[in-house]
Chains A and B, each alone.
Chain A
Amino acid sequence: MSAELFSLFYQFADVFAFLILSAAGLAIVFGMMGVINMAHGEFIMCGAYVTVGLVNLGVPLPIAQILATLTAGIIGMIVEYLIVRRFYKRPLDSLLATWGLSLIVTQSMLLIVGSAVRGIGTPEGSFAIGGYTFSTYRLVLFGCAVAVLAGLYIIFMKTRFGVIARATMQNAAMAKALGARTGRIYSISFGIGTALAGLCGALYAPTMTLIPTMGATFVVESFVTVVIGGANVLLGTAPAAVFLAMIRMALNAGYGQIIGQIGMLFAVILIIRVLPEGLSSVLVRRGR
């Protein structure tokens, strides 16, 4: 019995981790600036490629993953400085600009690197409970997802940067008048967002085939999580991921991955009819 329960939890944790890791970066950028980064998938791809490249050079996997996360964060801040910064008052144009960037990056990678790169295997290690065998790495991913949420909680609720960031989020003009450097806050937030995308790619790099278009595998999940999550990462994205993970888990088990994805999409379309501003608007209102 407990083995069945654990198996259920394991499946839930797997989907939940995927949703949180792929959506967290996108949600932060959307929450702070109201911008959806269409090149999110490409930052994930960047994280994955840097990780695999470093591992193939002999760097241990965890260090490669940290370096990949940092790389994606730094590239993100450069992109913010060069492109995204101009579009904070035109969110729809920021969508187009980042989509243009995404096209350029994906197709250039296809031109330069070619379609497939030698991957690295999933870290070995499995354990058995009852009659089932589980991969340890999947639980590591779940741990990372929880750690990301905890880390964001600490950054945004417990630090001085977090206070200023939340003030900027609520009323940018007022925060600026009170002396907050909103431009720098935006730049750092965008960097955190893309670093989280890089982390997602770094963590999933050992589990999947590396192709320049791999970002597309993540974007649907990240989009729908952010759509029903709304602007708040902790109160929106996390509950949205729990909710979607349950639907996804039930459908995946019974009907397979693709039906799980379709079911999730249908659930999201039904939910936006009822809660257009996302779960976070309801939870935040309750909280006040």
Chain B
Amino acid sequence: MFKLLDGPQTLGRGKIFWSCFLAVLAGALIYPLFADSYDVGNFAYFLIWIFMALGLCLMWGYGGMLSFGQTFFFGIAGYGYGVLAINMGGGTATIAALILSVVIAMIAAGILGYFMIWGGISGIFFGIVTLSATLVLAFFLGQTAGPEWHIGPARLNGFNGMKGMDPLTVGSFDIEGSALYYLMIALIVIVYVALRILVNSSVGNVIVATRENPQRAEMLGYDVRKYQLLTFVIGSGLAGLSGALYTSWGQFITPSSIGLPAAAMPIVWVAFSGRNDLTATLVGSFLLLFGFQTITVYSQQAALVLMGVLLLATVMLAPQGFVLGIGRLVVDWWSRRRRRDEAPALADAGRLQSDET
């Protein structure tokens, strides 16, 4: 199975890449030993959003489905975690709340995805239907301020958001601070490796084939709708994981993390990074989140304007994404120096064409 870690669908292979990967991982693991706990908490906060970005990368870059609904599933799981954690009481039950809330988000993705994919919605309409659902959820949650809007003891609280749920807890040990940080690192490594294996497996090849040409993939005997639904459910489930972790991290969630402009953020991260590659998305999203957080301290509006500028600049100057573009340049330069075999270059050439459509 680990042979699938390296394949034509992912950039970065061989000893050098994985040595770098291990070096970064080692750096991330010893980081809390040097930094103060506030910075560690901040880093954990950036890492929360990575899942959402990786999910969108899978759907959009690999599956060709541009979903604007990442924050929809983020919100469902985020509120789901809150409601479940409050209702089931804290303690170890919060782990169950985390898992259940992600499952709820995946079920929601399955239902919405069924109607869209079996209805033959694709391209632009896929984006605007998912965005409509997202905005309606945000509007709905925004007007649940009254005391009649509650699920068990959990008040939805309208625009001020839901609070008072316990953080993730095992026994009497709260997973906070550096424990949460290590949990995030572990989850990201698992998700990243699993997604690499998925996209390089035969299922992943069908997903990419469907992106390239749905009719042709169908003629080859695959029910492309099932593969698209699978991609959508996994990608949206990852957004749900981000949502549940977010609620548990800050012990609150508000509708503003669902509606505009929050819904645009995953699109900016993934477009800027390079939607066609998981590693580029991972690195780029982290950099953007870091930069965004740094500027937000001074002015949230300025940070959002910058995000808009980045999105516009990306589609106008580097539709493939900046991080991916720079990564490719480095790889090209490296392989030209080493006069390596042509196979990777061929695989990349095939992927370059995909964006013309």
Contact = CB atoms under 8 A, between A and B. Distances in A.
B241 interface: no
A111 B302 contact: yes
Contacts of B301: 107-108, 110-111
Most buried by A among B112, B116, B124, B314: B124
A106 B128 contact: no
A104 B119 contact: no
A97 B315 contact: yes
Contact of A91 (B124, B299, B319): B124
Query: Chain B binding site: helix, strand, loop or mixed by DSSP?
Result: helix
Contacts of A224: 132
A101 interface: yes
Interface in B106-133: 112, 115-116, 118-121, 123-125, 127-129, 131-133
Interface string B307-329: 11111111110010000000000
B264 A276 contact: no
Contact of A92 (B124, B143, B302): B124
B132 A276 contact: no
A155 B355 CA distance: 36
Contact of B116 (A83, A106, A272): A272
B101 to A, nearest CB: 21
B116 A269 contact: yes
Interface residues of A, number: 43
A147 interface: no
B129 A213 contact: no
B261 A104 contact: no
A83 B118 CA distance: 34
B290 interface: no
Interface stretch (A64-72, A125-133, A188-196, A215-223): A215-223
Contact of B316 (A83, A99, A111, A220): A83
Contacts of B260: 106, 213, 216
Interface in A255-280: 258, 261-262, 265, 268-270, 272-274, 276
B315 A273 contact: no
Contacts of A265: 132-133, 136
B128 A227 contact: yes
Interface string B243-274: 00000000000000001110010011001000
A96 B123 contact: no
Given A103-B264, A111-B305, A216-B259, A97 B115 contact: no
A199 interface: no
B123 A92 contact: yes
Contacts of B315: 87, 93, 96-97, 100
Interface string A79-115: 0000100110011110111011111111110110000
Contacts of B264: 99, 103
Given A213-B260, A273-B115, A262 B309 contact: no
Given A101-B312, A269-B129, A111 B299 contact: yes
Contact of B135 (A101, A107, A220): A220
Contacts of A268: 129, 132
Most buried by A among B123, B125, B131: B125
12 contacts: A90-B319, A97-B311, A100-B268, A103-B311, A104-B309, A104-B312, A216-B260, A223-B132, A258-B139, A262-B140, A272-B125, A273-B119
The 4 closest A-B pairs by CB, nearest first: A103-B308, A100-B311, A100-B312, A104-B308
Given A111-B302, A220-B135, 15 more contacts: A34-B124, A92-B127, A96-B311, A96-B315, A100-B315, A101-B308, A103-B305, A104-B305, A105-B308, A106-B304, A107-B261, A107-B302, A261-B139, A262-B136, A269-B116
